[in-house]
Structure 1
Amino acid sequence: MTRCPALLISAPASGQGKTTVVAALARLHTRQGRRVRVFKCGPDFLDPHWHQLASGAPVHQLDLWMTGEADARARLHAAAQECDLILVEGVMGLFDGQPSAADLAQRLGLPVMGVVDASAMAATFGALAYGLQHYQPGLRWAGVLANRAASPRHAQMLQSSLREPGHWLGALMRVSVDPGAKAGLLPERHLGLVSAQELPDGLARLDAAADALADTPLGQMTLADWQARWSVDFAAPDASAALVPALLQGRTVAVAHDAAFSFIYPANIDCLAQLGARVVFFSPLADAALPPCDALWLPGGYPELHAARLAANISLRDSLQAHVAAGKPVWAECGGMVALSVGITQADGACQPLWGLLPGTATLHKRLAGLGPQQLAWRGYTLRGHTFHYSTLASDTAALAEVARTAPPHAASAPGVGEAVYRHGSIHASYFHAWFASSPAAVAALFGGAQA
């Protein structure tokens, strides 16, 4: 058993400022010399970029369905052994989804702090805080932080609305690196926040948020305060359950990683290494050829923002073509699949050619085209993951009907048809984003490894 202070930060809904508060907290404590580990509840590729920049440490997912309770417990225990405090960012609203962030907190004994956008309310702030605390019995409630308060006077009104004054953790005024800007501190585009790596002043933005948070009761708490109020006992996992057979021993897996392909769970890279693979990275935007490899992973990202550069890299396309012609496996997820297609029609109607190795064309829409948990049945194994995309693919390529839109236990929506997996030569491609650790054997099969 390892004891460490931990806090799950949630909200009544999306858009309340959870990511900014979590990143600000991580940055504030990291600047003070503390070792901070941040986790993200549910599938997400973008928020973790900001948390990693703030904390200087890898950020992993916690999800009772996709990653599983045992995996979540193991990762938290490992983090607790090496850090001073743990932060977990919730997903959507506190009780949204099944299982929800509240379910995760209750199952793992994590204290919960609410973040409420109070920019257009007064006494209702207290009602929301009370509801968040009491709606689901058994939650370990830590308190509430008001976000985007208009003034110190407004903050006083919000504080006075709470039934339990001890749950007031402060008010964060609206923070911006440009006082005259209307946009928030962390800018957004389709799919979510702009990645931290894309903004040269990303760390300055986090420092500004951390400075603002330092003036709140939450920001002024010492590590001893955290330990006294929010310590959690994290049990050691079953060591035998973590063993992964070396089904990719001796094989090299090349992974695309740059501004166009950045939707990569660090845990997926860890899983490939645990399977025995040698992982090498390359940039489809900058490199002229694939590195020597036995298999290739093209993860998701924003190929639509870099389509012209990708298409212009003819030598890289030829290298990809040679890889496929040699029968070497390719697993392409979401944006990786789009990049392999003949071309993409952008939201403004402009058409841009792409690599043309997968028959079919993609179309980018202004509205979400796919969202939710998914699982892939693959050669007797089940690989869990999710889908989240704004584009669609029209292709006459053979589709393997092995991906299902699935609802976790007790969810309101019933399972149904999910994303297609397209097969073209040695290419397997889908909008499905896989969580590799859910079935290492299935991953080994995708990358041409030995069978368990």
Structure 2
Amino acid sequence: MASHFLIAAPHSGSGKTTLTLGLLRALRHRGVTVQPFKCGPDYIDIQHHRTAAGRASINLDLFMASPEHLQTLYQTYRSGVDVAVTEGVMGLFDGADRMQASTASLAECLGIPIILVVHAKAMAYSAAPLLYGFRHFYAGIQIAGVLFNGVQTTSHFRFLEEACQDVGLPCLGYFPTHPDFTIPSRHLGLRTSSEIDYERIIEAIARKIPQTIDLDRLLALTKTDEEASLAQALSHRTACKVTIARDEAFSFQYHQNLAVLEALAEVQYVSPLRDTELPETDLLYLPGGYPELHAQALSANTTFRESVRAYCQNGGYAYAECGGLMYLGQQLTDVDGHSYPMAGVFPFSTSLQHAKLTLGYRQIHFQNTLLKGHEFHYSTLQEAEELSSLAPVRNARGVEVGTKIYRIQNTLASYVHLYWGDGPPWLTDLLRTLATSLYTHPHG
């Protein structure tokens, strides 16, 4: 029987990511195969999951995808593994609208037992009423056990252990605070820059976990006799050639988005940082990432920038989101005020000065199709006020927001990260249209 569990917490900043990474690696040290998942639209945590587990992490988001799709996805990637570990998002019940798309709603949808992480640095027996509330608030979920974070001594842990006993929840141990276990943060979440030694940090966490956390009991409490079944792969492959930007500057891609494209088309990857020109293609996809951290190098690669501009200006089909949108602008200004020329496809520019957080789920009604995604950035657009939007963009509650979908010829760009991991019909139709040249457009 395999085990599966979901790491959740009463609030953000409780240590979910730290413990998830450590557990993934600690379980891997035991010689078991472990599959990571991430609740929500995050595209940074999943990169660290891969480092810790040695396997691609899969996003599970109930706003952007249907319950049926997530159930199939979960069963598919659980098939053949010993342990499945899902990291929650924000607080357990925090959703786009009350519980909508929350960690709790995902746990209920997929029947995943919850391991609740409580940051107890300044808490003792008062943990009891907190745990009682989380245990009894919603009957649709199962809290299988509790882990305490930020606990330095066994005497402190005893108070917390007694709280669990009196509430009737299994106490699985605790984890201390230490500089060696700290993962620095960046404006979009955990850092991805190369100066941080993630391998060292993850390994230090993993070595410490078995000393204070009962892994055997954790696995025993979360065993299931359900056999995960492997879903059938997508069919209807087309002859369309899709080119995807992927390097340190463009790294925010949903794994399942890429899997669907690879199933439906011939996919090739390209680096705007290193490659000299855009190869022959039917569709160019520029995903999000950290172009502001590599603005100088992106700008210095003039031949690639010029090939992208020529492709778009000649009617080539392209889709850019967030970091890709920034790359297609006239210039990018970093936090220090240095401006660098970009591809120059759109008349606007982007800047990280006077940064302003824009965050939230997005839905777009376009040509009788509902598209869903997520927006999370600090950069701002300049000289874009006069440009109209191809379609209205609304938040999770249906309220229109200021985000726009920009279009020049056959190039679309937006700050929204779309999810199409369920292989929607519109994507297949688009690729078939491109492959059969129902619309003429140039290559390369």
Give the TM-score taking structure 1 as reference length. 0.88
Structure 1 counterpart of 2:85, from 84, 87, 90: 87
1:61-210 aligned within 5 A:
61-97=59-95, 98-162=100-164, 163-164=166-167, 167-177=170-180, 185-195=182-192, 198-199=194-195, 201-210=197-206
User: CA separation of 1:359/1:229 partners in 2, compared to 1, >3 Å: closer, same or farther?
Assistant: closer
1:147-296 aligned within 5 A:
147-162=149-164, 163-164=166-167, 167-177=170-180, 185-195=182-192, 198-199=194-195, 201-219=197-215, 221=216, 226-227=219-220, 229-231=222-224, 233=226, 236=229, 243=234, 245-246=236-237, 249-275=238-264, 277-296=265-284
1:181 matched to which residue of 2?
none
Q: Please report how far the alpha carbon of residue 199 of structure 1 lies from its aligned counterpart in structure 2 after TM superposition.
A: 4.8
1:422-433 aligned within 5 A:
422-433=406-417
Q: Please report how far the alpha carbon of residue 386 of structure 1 lies from its aligned counterpart in structure 2 after TM superposition.
A: 1.1
Query: In 2, distance between residues paired with 1:329 and 1:444?
Result: 15
Q: Please report how far the alpha carbon of residue 161 of structure 1 lies from its aligned counterpart in structure 2 after TM superposition.
A: 2.7
2:441 matched to which residue of 1?
none
Structure 2 counterpart of 1:60, from 52, 55, 58: 58
Could you list the per-position Cα deviations for residues 295-320 of structure 1 after superposition, in whole angstroms to 9, with x for gaps in the alignment? 21110011111111111111111111
Residue type of the partner of 1:187?
P
Q: Percent identity?
A: 36
1:348-359 aligned within 5 A:
348-359=336-347
Query: In 1, distance between residues paired with 2:425 and 2:103?
Result: 29
User: CA separation of 1:403/1:233 partners in 2, compared to 1, >3 Å: closer, same or farther?
Assistant: farther
Q: Is the 8 A contact 1:61 1:67 kept in 2?
A: no
Other structure's SS at 1:28 match: helix
Q: Specify every segment of 5 or more residues in structure 1 that has no aligned partner in the other structure, as ranges.
A: 178-183, 408-412
Q: Please report how far the alpha carbon of residue 417 of structure 1 lies from its aligned counterpart in structure 2 after TM superposition.
A: 3.2
Residue type of the partner of 2:185?
E
User: CA separation of 1:232/1:433 partners in 2, compared to 1, >3 Å: closer, same or farther?
Assistant: farther
User: CA separation of 1:200/1:390 partners in 2, compared to 1, >3 Å: closer, same or farther?
Assistant: closer
1:258-337 aligned within 5 A:
258-275=247-264, 277-337=265-325
User: CA separation of 1:367/1:145 partners in 2, compared to 1, >3 Å: closer, same or farther?
Assistant: farther
Residue type of the partner of 2:258?
I
Q: Please report how far the alpha carbon of residue 244 of structure 1 lies from its aligned counterpart in structure 2 after TM superposition.
A: 5.0
Could you list the per-position Cα deviations for residues 139-190 of structure 1 after superposition, in whole angstroms to 9, with x for gaps in the alignment? 211111111212232222322232246511111011433xxxxxx6211110
Residue type of the partner of 1:400?
S
Other structure's SS at 2:393 match: strand
User: CA separation of 1:237/1:208 partners in 2, compared to 1, >3 Å: closer, same or farther?
Assistant: closer
Q: Please report how far the alpha carbon of residue 207 of structure 1 lies from its aligned counterpart in structure 2 after TM superposition.
A: 0.9
Query: In 2, distance between residues paired with 1:82 and 1:311?
Result: 45
Q: Please report how far the alpha carbon of residue 254 of structure 1 lies from its aligned counterpart in structure 2 after TM superposition.
A: 1.1
1:410 matched to which residue of 2?
none
Query: In 2, distance between residues paired with 1:10 and 1:33?
Result: 25
Residue type of the partner of 2:146?
V
Other structure's SS at 2:347 match: strand
1:449 matched to which residue of 2?
434
Residue type of the partner of 1:18?
K
Query: In 1, distance between residues paired with 2:369 and 2:298?
Result: 34
Could you list the per-position Cα deviations for residues 66-108 of structure 1 after superposition, in whole angstroms to 9, with x for gaps in the alignment? 1221121112211232100111111100000013111111222
Deviates more, 1:42-51 or 1:145-154: 145-154
User: CA separation of 1:24/1:368 partners in 2, compared to 1, >3 Å: closer, same or farther?
Assistant: farther
Query: In 2, distance between residues paired with 1:126 and 1:232?
Result: 31
2:394 matched to which residue of 1?
405
Other structure's SS at 1:436 match: coil
Other structure's SS at 2:280 match: coil
Query: In 2, distance between residues paired with 1:228 and 1:429?
Result: 47
Residue type of the partner of 2:418?
A
Q: Is the 8 A contact 1:148 1:173 kept in 2?
A: yes
User: CA separation of 1:51/1:91 partners in 2, compared to 1, >3 Å: closer, same or farther?
Assistant: same
Q: Please report how far the alpha carbon of residue 192 of structure 1 lies from its aligned counterpart in structure 2 after TM superposition.
A: 0.5
Residue type of the partner of 1:13?
H
Structure 1 counterpart of 2:7, from 9, 15, 32: 9
Q: Specify every segment of 5 or more residues in structure 2 that has no aligned partner in the other structure, as ranges.
A: 439-444
Could you list the per-position Cα deviations for residues 234-257 of structure 1 after superposition, in whole angstroms to 9, with x for gaps in the alignment? 675886xx74533xx112111111
Q: Is the 8 A contact 1:294 1:328 kept in 2?
A: yes
Other structure's SS at 1:130 match: helix
Q: Please report how far the alpha carbon of residue 293 of structure 1 lies from its aligned counterpart in structure 2 after TM superposition.
A: 1.9
Other structure's SS at 1:422 match: strand
2:421 matched to which residue of 1?
437
User: CA separation of 1:238/1:26 partners in 2, compared to 1, >3 Å: closer, same or farther?
Assistant: closer
Query: In 2, distance between residues paired with 1:298 and 1:445?
Result: 20
Query: In 1, distance between residues paired with 2:231 and 2:81?
Result: 21
Between Structure 1 and Structure 2, how many residues are aligned?
430
Could you list the per-position Cα deviations for residues 100-131 of structure 1 after superposition, in whole angstroms to 9, with x for gaps in the alignment? 11111122211111111112222222332222
Q: Is the 8 A contact 1:144 1:169 kept in 2?
A: yes
